[in-house]
Amino acid sequence: MAPPAAAPVRAAPSIFDRRLQRARLERARRAGAADFLLAHVAEDMLDRLASVKREFRTILDLGAPGPHLAQALAALPHRPFVVRAATSADFASSQPPIT
């Protein structure tokens, strides 16, 4: 009796197409001015942080697609130091840093 045939080995599925995600983000940046959702997210983040009693002196904005969050955080009453760490797409588009 012959042994059963082995099933073919499949590669792990790619759940996120990073190249497609970068292309869509870049297309949205080129279209411009449709940033109302980013502004809403920044406002929502500030609402959530309002219930936190701790005042963070340094805040890292890691890869947010635009300056909205960093600007909103920098405007907090205790004036934290906000560091924006851009993605490679941000570096390519040469966005100015938030000060």
Segment among 40-49, 59-68, 70-79 with least mean pLDDT = 59-68
Q: How far is CA 50 from CA 16, 17, 55, 86, in A?
A: 33, 35, 10, 25
Residue 47 pLDDT: 93
- CA dist 70 and 62 (Å) reads 10
Rounded to two decimals, the pTM is: 0.53
* Per-residue pLDDT tens digits for 3-40: 777 767 777 767 788 888 888 888 877 877 667 888 89
Mean pLDDT on 50-78: 88
